[in-house]
Structure 1
């Protein structure tokens, strides 16, 4: 899925890759899909939510994404995002990605992890670059642009594959504006 998006996307800027996750509230009618079908809707105190995990390039353009239930933590999807990105010079993420396994996976792919340590960590962080971390707003800007699409801001689709298709379509529109 997403073959057309990857053809439209063209080449990414592999200098910096930003990763983050954002919640999407699922509409009340999004529940109730057939059993056996992936829904990617998680139950939380705030109601049904879906989480969109996104990687962007140095220009703030979407590279790839994962869709999970709202209860899935960012660190559980980080390895899949790193694999989808391929190679880059720097992998920049927030404290939710503070894990040695995530850092090692990024290093194996040739990336320097720019991830701040949690406040209770006693390990040094020599790879942390405060300037690059300040540029993390680029991934937040992509989430803001994606949520301008009504179908993404309020998830109506019952199945995860349909929601993924909507996100691919929205990412394609973002890339088409660049060309």
Structure 2
């Protein structure tokens, strides 16, 4: 393997059969998929502009066009779905899921669009129109300026299972249903995809009656600490305030795997800072990073 390569031969062998074929594609035949994927990974790991891709990867426009096309048609979501299905069938997927988000500054190259902060929509992966670009490009204004959040759902070993991209000011309670909706593992044989985790671990930002009720209705055990203001309000009400929600402090110690997943994700400088104008393109790179994690198994 070349010292410039980011994918091992074993990883590539697991991915290549799942990528679209140029058969039936209009125009010139597609260039070598491996070179293009290596170029996409190189761009996001280094954070360089597309135009500055090294010549060994070929024309930068070819790389960008392939990445843009696969972002719009959900190619990497399908690849991730197949890898998850194979891992789940082999009993290698931990269904104790941790969720959280990390906020990333949007570079001026990502925000020179019309009204970038007027968006409350998210870019996610499943459902009708899921791969359409949201209005405002999922860029919002928070204390850090124009920002974007990457929402992660990871398994018990910190491996990404679902990724949603939202504006920086988006509240966790509004985006958790989207994140859980993307938590889908297809069955290798016929049947419905598996969508329900056994346990959901989250920090106090997810502590609300609506979220706990929604998880309870789906039979998901919530491991979420109660916020101090909620606890004080409940105690002030006395017997009317009800019992405190169940909380398992031992299980909660395992929630740190989602923080470690963000530490690994932000080694890709093109994800730690958002340079992409389109939310679906930015999210597609985060899904590609998850694909490489699962391709190592």
TM-score normalised by the chain length of structure 2: 0.56
| Partners of 2:280 and 2:170 in 1: CA distance | 17
Contact 2:140 2:147 survives alignment (8 Å): yes
Question: Which residue of structure 2 lines up, in the alignment, with residue 90 of structure 1?
Answer: 199
Counterpart among 262, 267, 278 of residue 159 in structure 1: 278
| Partners of 2:109 and 2:217 in 1: CA distance | 43
Contact 1:17 1:56 survives alignment (8 Å): yes
Counterpart among 214, 221, 226 of residue 117 in structure 1: 226
| Partners of 2:207 and 2:143 in 1: CA distance | 25
| Partners of 2:143 and 2:207 in 1: CA distance | 25
Q: Could you list the per-position Cα deviations for residues 14-49 of structure 1 after superposition, in whole angstroms to 9, with x for gaps in the alignment?
A: 2x1111111011111111236795311112232211
Contact 1:112 1:127 survives alignment (8 Å): no
Give the structure with the larger helix fraction.
2
TM-score normalised by the chain length of structure 1: 0.91
Q: Give the alignment of 1:129-148 within 5 angstroms.
A: 129-148=248-267
Which one scores higher on RCO, CA 8 angstroms, separation ≥ 6? Answer: 1
Query: Cα distance, 1:124 vs. partner?
Result: 3.5
Secondary structure in 2 aligned to 1:132?
Answer: helix
Secondary structure in 2 aligned to 1:127?
Answer: coil
Give the structure with the larger strand fraction.
1
Q: 1:61 to 1:52 in 2, by over 3 A?
A: same
Query: Cα distance, 1:92 vs. partner?
Result: 0.8
Matched, 1:50 2:169: no
| Partners of 1:97 and 1:35 in 2: CA distance | 29
Question: Which residue of structure 2 lines up, in the alignment, with residue 59 of structure 1?
Answer: 157
Q: Could you list the per-position Cα deviations for residues 109-155 of structure 1 after superposition, in whole angstroms to 9, with x for gaps in the alignment?
A: 22111111110222533421001111111000001111111211111
Matched, 1:17 2:100: no
Query: Cα distance, 1:8 vs. partner?
Result: 2.2
Higher radius of gyration, 1 or 2: 2
| Partners of 1:50 and 1:165 in 2: CA distance | 14
Please identify, of 125-134 and 142-151, the stretch whose mean Cα deviation from structure 2 is larger: 125-134
Query: Cα distance, 1:82 vs. partner?
Result: 2.5
| Partners of 2:165 and 2:264 in 1: CA distance | 17
Extract unaligned runs of 5+ from structure 1. none
Aligned length: 177
Query: Cα distance, 1:102 vs. partner?
Result: 0.8
